[in-house]
Structures are given as structure tokens and as C-alpha cells.
Amino acid sequence: MYRYDEFDHAFVSARVEQFRDQVQRRLSGEIAEDAFRPLRLMNGVYLQLHAYMLRVAIPYGTLNSRQMRMLAHIARKYDRGYGHFTTRQNIQYNWPKLSDTPDILADLASVEMHAIQTSGNCIRNVTADHFAGAAADEVADPRPYAEILRQWSSVHPEFSFLPRKFKIAVTGAPRDRAAIQVHDIGLHLKKDEAGNLGFAVYVGGGQGRTPLIAKKIRDFLPEEDLLTYVTAIVRVYNLHGRRDNKYKARIKILVHETGVEELTRQVEAEFDQIRDSELKLPDADIRAIETYFAPPSLPDRPEGWEALARAKKADAAFASWASQNVQPHTHPDYGMVTISLKPIGGTPGDASDSQMDVVADIADRYAQDEIRVSHEQNLILPHVALADLYSVYQALEASGLATANAGLITDIIACPGLDYCALANARSIPVAQEISRRFGSPARQAEIGELKIKISGCINACGHHHVGHIGLLGVEKKGAELYQITLGGSGDENTSIGEIIGRGFEPDRVTDAVETIVDTYLGLRLDPKETFLEAYRRVGPKPFKDALYGEAAEAA
């Protein structure tokens, strides 16, 4: 992974001291909150319902054990003993004192981390496939390009005050695990017929108040033109994006209102003006960044196959976990392990300080000192020998981290909702917990198969509900919480926005509604191999509406 050079160290340290001075002036009353707000947001500090919140950047979701231990230390010393991993591959702390935030940032800087550009109308953390550099289906590791984009966009003088926040995602496999089509810019790393690397470029995706799927404006962009073309896109957006209405300020609205053909023409015209500028990436620079992401030297461990078979036979719980939470690695003697942060009845995405320390220890001993954060709010050990899987499982199980539900109905994405967020209209966490408990039986989860539930506490869609197979949106109606249900969403290579199924459900009825949807699916699927999403796309919303609303569905 990328290591800071002298410039990085000096820059981040200077930024910490600058913010320390700003915090001191705020606490002394020299700076009013209105003046302080943009300063704290530039350093990832929000003011939520009950306390400040600090959002820490984890670039493209990659970190090492030393950095994970620091995240645990911060949770233990400055917060309430836990952190919340987010859909942007970051971590949030919900209870820091404002007076402590400079010390937290200093501690982060000591392990080459920061909170810069985790808020504000700038280019946010660039995200990537959480299996990058290890997946058997990968064309190439997208993280070097995410790092190039990170370096280019950090405190970019032209793009620090955009019309609205801006998000970029990169994937390097045919299976999109980074949800690139619901980003402002999505980049799909691929090869042309001659074997050259480049990108399919998508623009104008996003969720929130107006969910839209990104449009492909380039089928193949040579890798050396990455920064030039992205600059052209952001320049067009910065010039024409709306600043009079924050609800219509995202690039997705510009694409929709301008039309993809005209917007593409403007981007290409800007690209032609700058394509041979200093932004053109020399091959040597790309390859130099790649060396930071060279895959670890993995010795052959063929004995792992027999050891894995023995352990599965001896321990049914391990067999279930290995089947659900371990994916094929590019090296046949290794696997990619998903550590579920979705224990039955737990808060999705939360990890305690002690759990973070355990993950760091396991990464040190068994996983080449590498950890990933997924946009699905789980942790990943990308390089684990099959021979070590049972030892890894036992260590995770002892810490409550061995839930065998990756990709199943209890692997729920949920935002913090009204329990923490000042923008939320409804709670997300209690709903996720109740659904998790209702469907917690391993046998029932296995019967249902792949089913992604995503929950947001407001229209900003931090819980990605629009692309949930079942999406839940919390709204406020006449002073009470209500949950609107969408069906058929997906954030993979076949992206779709879920359809609103009908009127919303009260908090005490929403889990029953989800169960009705699931039971309807089980009754109409062609065979156990037909997933919920496949069945929904085959039959459409009517059977589900009928089951939920009866005659009311017909009247609608």
C-alpha cells in the first residue's frame, strides 16, 4: 500500500497544527460557530445530534495492522470504545470532544492517516473494489489509479469548492464490487484488443433525492489520459453545475438536464485542450505507483486443501462460515476472507476497540499485514492461506466476528440514522437489528440465499437503499417515523434503482413487511438457485404489492 513521502508527512503535520490553532480559537470564543464550521468540515469534523463526529479517510479502503491498531486506540482513548465503518470505506467516531480532535488527528498522522476531504464540496475519498489485488476475476488492481486520483485531488486548488460533494469509484473486474454506476465518476479498468490498460468512464450516477444511474461517456480511455480526462469532467461540472439549489447541485443533475450527448461534447472539447499537458501520466510514474501495490509474495500452501476439508468436516459452523465468507483468490492456495460486522441483532458496521485490535493481530499473523474496508461495511482479509483459515476463524469467533452471513439477508447496510445524524428523519439501527434477529437462523438465511437489504434514515441515502434488493427509506410523516420500501435495486455491473412498492410502514410493522416480501419470493421462485433479484426482475412488483397491500394494491 502507499507510504507517505517527506512531502506527505510535512503537509499532514502542518494541517494538524493549523486545525489545532483553529480549535483553540473556537473554544476561546475568538471564532464563532458559523465561521468555524467550514474549517472543521475541511478536517472531517461534523456536528451531529448529540456530539461532534469525526470521519477518518481510509483511501480505497486499504490499511495495515499498525493503522488498525491506531483506530482502536482512538476509539478507546477519545471515544466510547467503538468506531463505525461506512459505505465510503471510511471510519466514523461518534463521540469525540472537540478539544480532543487535534490530538486525534496528530495520532492519525503518526500512522499516515488523516481526515482531510472527508467532508465538504470537494472530491471525497476515492473508493475501490475491496477485493482489489487479490480477486481471481480481476483484470488489474485498480488501487494504483485510485492512489493517483487521491494525490491529484488532495487540496486541489481548482476543485476544493465544487457545487456539491464529488465521489469517484474504481473497479478492475467484470463483477462490479465498487458500485461505480452510482458515483459522480465511475471508472472500470479494462484491456483493449491489443492488451493495453484503460478505463470505461461513467458520469452522473448518484443516489439521494434524485437517484440516477451513470452514463458511459467513454468505452476506453487510455491509462495515461486518466487525470486529463477526469480533470475535463470536473471542470465542466465546476463551470456549469448549479450553485443556487443544493438539491440539484450534483453532476447527475447536470448530466440529466444538459443531456449526455452535449455533456460528452463539452468534456471531449475540454479534454482536447489539455490532453497533452503536464497532467498526462508518464508510464514510468504509473509503474512507480504500482510498485507500492505489488501483491505479496505468497508461498504455495497446497496442504491447505486437505486441512480445509478436515476442518469443515469436523466443525459445521466453520464449514458454513468458510462457504459464505471466503472467496477465491488469484492464488489457488489462498482465499479472501470477509469479516462480517453484522452480528445478529448488532449495529451494522460497528467494531469495538478490542475487535479492531484482534483484526490487526490476525492480519499480522495470517494475512500479510493487509486489511480492507468494504463499502458494504465489512472488513476484508484479502490474502489468507487456506491452511490458516480455521485458525483465523477461531480467533474471529472468540471476538464475535465470525458471523457467517456475507451477502445474506442479515448482512444489512445501514446508516447511523436518527440515533446520531442531525439530517435523519427516522432511525435505521433499530430496524436493522430487528430484521437481523427475525432472520437470524442460519438455516433460514441459507434457504433465502443472496439478498441485500439496505437502510437509510433520510433521503440522502447514506445507506444506499436505492440499490438494495430490498431498500428501506425512513421518512417523517405527521411527526412519526415511516419506512418506504423499494424493491429490485442493485449496485453491481447490472445497476438498477429500486422501485417504490407502495405506502410506507410504521416501525412496528416494517419487519413483518420484509418477511412478507421474503415469503412471497420463496413461493414464486423457479428453484432454490433463483435469487431474489432474479425473481423480482422476472415477475415484477405485482406479486409483492398484492402480498403487502391486498385489494389496496389493485386500487392503486
Residue 551 has pLDDT above 70, yes or no: no
CB 521 within 8 A of CB 535: yes
Compute the average pLDDT of residues 70-79. 98
456 pairs with which residues across the strands?
473
Select from 362, 361, 478, 353 the least CA-distant residue to 425.
Answer: 478
Q: What beta strand segments (E) does 223-328 contain?
A: 326-328
| For residue 47, pLDDT beyond 80 | yes
Q: Tell me the pairing of strands 168-171 and 185-191.
A: parallel
CA distances from 284 to 95, 276, 289, 291 (A): 44, 16, 9, 11
Tell me the pLDDT of the chain averaged across its residues. Answer: 97
If you ran DSSP here, which 8-state letter would residue 212 be given? B
Segment 189-216 shows an average pLDDT of 97
pLDDT score for 359: 99
Identify the band that residue 1 occupies on the pLDDT scale cut at 50, 70 and 90: confident
Give me the mean pLDDT over the 162-167 stretch: 98
| Residue whose cell numbers read 481526515 | 115
CA distances from 65 to 122, 351, 363, 365, 381 (A): 29, 15, 6, 10, 11
What dihedral do alpha carbons 442, 444, 448, 453 form, nearest 10°? -70
Query: In the chain, pLDDT over 70 holds for what percent of residues?
Result: 99
Residue range 23-51: average pLDDT? 97
Count of C-beta atoms within a 10 Å radius of residue 440 = 16
Q: DSSP state, 553?
A: H
pLDDT score for 556: 44
pLDDT in the model for residue 555 = 46
As a three-state string, the secondary structure of 173-199 is CCCCCCCHHHCCEEEEEEECCCCCEEE
pLDDT band at 552 (very low <50, low <70, confident <90, very high): low
- 553 pLDDT tier (thresholds 50, 70, 90): low
Q: Which pLDDT band, with edges at 50, 70 and 90, does 356 fall under?
A: very high
Distance, CA of 533 to CA of 471 (rounded, Å): 12
The pLDDT tens digits for 305-323 are: 999 999 999 999 999 999 9
The model carries a pTM of: 0.97
Judge whether 349 and 433 are in contact, CB under 8 Å.
no
pLDDT for 213-257, tens place per residue? 999 999 999 999 999 999 999 999 999 999 999 999 999 999 999
Q: Number of C-alpha atoms within 13 angstroms, CB side, residue 507? A: 18
Cα 94 to Cα 75: distance, rounded to the nearest angstrom: 10
User: Is the pLDDT reported for residue 554 higher than 60?
Assistant: no
Q: SS in 3 state form for 363-390? A: HHHHCCCCEEECCCCCEEEEEEEHHHHH
